[in-house]
């Protein structure tokens, strides 16, 4: 969510999609997505619960299995800031050419395999020669990252980068390694995430009504429907911070989306506990970044959603939200001198006749929309996902878009307001019939894990 420094209107622009970038066509290759910032990326893990002990177990890492690699994170800005107009335009996939320039995939991709070198080291590499190569030592049945090679250059753990956090899924089919390079001015915080390729690739449906989702086919000019599995609750965990009101705002935003998603997907707030960094494959976090951080560009970014999709399964697999306290301080100082973001001002302060809570609440609701798979709304239709709409409630567009993305799940309680009992039965029958016509069984069996 971004404010233009010379306007007092709320304009949303901050959203990232790992693996497929906001507005890109889903590909069978993972892409890297590094967000340029002003400040030290250390702020994104300074107050999180970090684990530098490897969680990658050698069991299940047979050499026949293939893995995808996704790269995400933050780096101190290295290029000239774009103008507000250019930044906004770049978020709209319809403004791109039919075949956009390829992103640099030189250190990301699919088809990675683990190789035991026989000297208590294991290498993770892909067939392509221009991809990154990871070398691990095998200690107590766990893999410790020792070095990585990118574009012909070798980087050593401890000397060239610091390992901040390891995480692995309970099934041992997803792993992430968060590393920090604090040398020089261009500091970097990079998450390498590996996911095991299992089963046949999913067929990703397209939006019937062309709602603005996160994944876009540049050639067909259509959006892909990529959402979460809805056979389990989607839980967000808030990280401890000095801003206690974040929990309340998250609860209110989840309530708004839950009212629309009832019978389709259940959203929850997890217990506030020690919070792992954004790279963790098992958690979805809402983190208040309290150190000075600004997103790259000439606009104020109040919030940022980082959402990851796995193109093999056609599902979203991770999401995190950041609230930038320094950007809020700057915005409030622009409106009223010497105002600072604190709980009292959020509860009682007003900006241009609007309660501060509503402005920050809108940011939270908007970013959750991104984590659910919604992209920015560009055609002027009223929407919480629009740049220019000031509404704080979900619009008819938002309700229709999210319901197309998440079909009814017969295992969840159905809302009385959705329609009559006959309507619900017809809708369930239609979904089952479509699934059978695809020859893939029930839509709700979820044969492909995310």
- In this prediction, residue 144 carries a pLDDT of 96
Read off the tokens for 198.
Answer: 């299992």
Per-residue pLDDT for 49 more than 90? Answer: yes
pLDDT, one tens digit per residue, over 156-189 is 999 999 999 999 999 989 999 999 999 878 899 9
Q: What angle do CA 290, 14, 284 make, to 5 degrees?
A: 65
pLDDT, one tens digit per residue, over 84-123 is 555 555 556 555 433 332 233 334 456 889 998 888 999 9
Higher-confidence position of 415 and 287: 287
Domain boundaries, the chain: 2-405
Q: Please give the biggest Cα pair distance in the chain.
A: 69
What average pLDDT does the structure give for the chain? 77
> Parallel, antiparallel, or unpaired for β 109-116 and 121-125?
antiparallel
Per-residue pLDDT for 276 more than 80? Answer: yes
Q: Which residues of 340-370 are buried (b: 16+ CB within 10 A; e: fewer)?
A: ebeeebbeebebeeeebbebbbbbbbbbbbb
Higher-confidence position of 352 and 127: 127
Read off the tokens for 342.
Answer: 């604190």
Q: How confident is the model at residue 441 (pLDDT cuts 50, 70, 90)?
A: very low
Higher-confidence position of 357 and 258: 258
Beta-bridged to residue 144, according to DSSP, are 137
Cβ distance 228 to 265 under 8 Å? yes
Write the DSSP symbol of residue 79: S
Per-residue pLDDT for 443 more than 50? Answer: no
C-alpha atoms less than 13 angstroms from C-alpha of 28 in its C-beta half-sphere: 8
Once rounded to an integer, what is the mean pLDDT over residues 366-378? 92
Read off the tokens for 448.
Answer: 């492909």
Percent residues over pLDDT 90 in the chain = 35
- In this prediction, residue 86 carries a pLDDT of 58
- In this prediction, residue 17 carries a pLDDT of 29
Least confident of 17-26, 62-71, 196-205, 256-265: 17-26
Q: How far is CA 96 from CA 46, 93, 100, 101, 311, in A?
A: 37, 5, 6, 9, 21
Per-residue pLDDT for 59 more than 90? Answer: no
Cβ distance 46 to 162 under 8 Å? no
Q: How confident is the model at residue 228 (pLDDT cuts 50, 70, 90)?
A: very high
> Parallel, antiparallel, or unpaired for β 222-224 and 215-217?
antiparallel
pLDDT, one tens digit per residue, over 137-159 is 998 889 999 999 987 889 999 99
Once rounded to an integer, what is the mean pLDDT over residues 373-393? 85
Per-residue pLDDT for 248 more than 80? Answer: yes
Cβ distance 302 to 323 under 8 Å? yes
Domain 2-405 superfamily per CATH:
Collagenase (Catalytic Domain) (3.40.390.10)
pLDDT, one tens digit per residue, over 288-299 is 998 888 876 656
CA torsion through residues 392, 95, 209, 450, sign: negative
3-class SS at 359?
Answer: helix
pLDDT, one tens digit per residue, over 412-434 is 877 655 545 555 566 566 655 65
């Amino acid at each position: 969510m971004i404010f233009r420094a010379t306007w007092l209107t709320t304009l949303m622009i901050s959203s990232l999609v790992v693996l497929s970038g906001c507005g890109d066509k889903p590909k069978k290759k993972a892409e890297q997505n590094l967000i340029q910032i002003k400040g030290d990326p250390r702020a994104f893990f300074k107050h999180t619960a970090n684990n530098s002990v490897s969680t990658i177990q050698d069991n299940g890492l047979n050499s026949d299995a293939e893995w995808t690699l996704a790269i995400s994170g933050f780096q101190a800005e290295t290029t000239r800031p774009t103008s507000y107009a250019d930044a906004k335009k770049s978020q709209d996939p319809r403004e791109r050419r039919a075949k956009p320039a390829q992103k640099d995939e030189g250190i990301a991709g699919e088809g990675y395999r683990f190789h035991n070198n026989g000297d208590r080291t294991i290498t993770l590499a892909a067939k392509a020669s221009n991809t990154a190569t990871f070398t691990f030592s095998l200690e107590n049945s766990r893999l410790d990252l020792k070095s990585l090679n990118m574009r012909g250059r070798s980087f050593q753990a401890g000397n060239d980068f610091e390992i901040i956090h390891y995480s692995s899924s309970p099934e041992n089919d997803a792993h992430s390694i968060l590393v920090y390079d604090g040398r020089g001015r261009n500091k970097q915080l990079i998450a390498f995430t590996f996911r095991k390729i299992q089963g046949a690739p999913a067929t990703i449906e397209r939006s019937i009504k062309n709602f603005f989702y996160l994944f876009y086919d540049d050639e067909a000019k259509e959006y892909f429907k990529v959402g979460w599995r809805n056979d389990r609750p989607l839980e967000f965990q808030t990280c401890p911070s000095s801003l206690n009101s974040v929990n309340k705002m998250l609860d209110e935003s989840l309530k708004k989306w839950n009212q629309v998603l009832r019978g389709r997907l259940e959203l929850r707030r997890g217990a506030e506990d020690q919070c792992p960094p954004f790279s963790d494959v098992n958690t979805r976090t809402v983190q208040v970044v309290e150190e000075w951080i600004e997103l790259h560009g000439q606009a104020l970014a109040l919030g940022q959603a980082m959402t990851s999709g796995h193109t093999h399964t056609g599902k979203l697999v991770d999401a995190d939200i950041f609230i930038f306290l320094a950007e809020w301080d700057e915005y409030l100082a622009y409106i009223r001198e010497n105002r600072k973001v604190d709980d009292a001002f959020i509860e009682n302060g007003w900006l241009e006749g609007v309660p501060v809570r509503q402005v920050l609440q809108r940011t939270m609701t908007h970013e959750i929309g991104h984590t659910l798979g919604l992209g920015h709304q560009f055609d002027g239709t009223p929407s919480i996902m629009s740049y220019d709409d000031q509404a704080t409630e979900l619009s008819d567009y938002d309700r229709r878009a999210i319901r197309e993305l998440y079909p009814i799940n017969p295992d969840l309680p159905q809302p009385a307001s959705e329609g009559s009992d006959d309507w619900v039965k017809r809708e369930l029958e239609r979904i089952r019939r479509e699934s059978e016509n695809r020859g893939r069984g029930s839509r709700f069996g979820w044969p492909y894990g995310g």
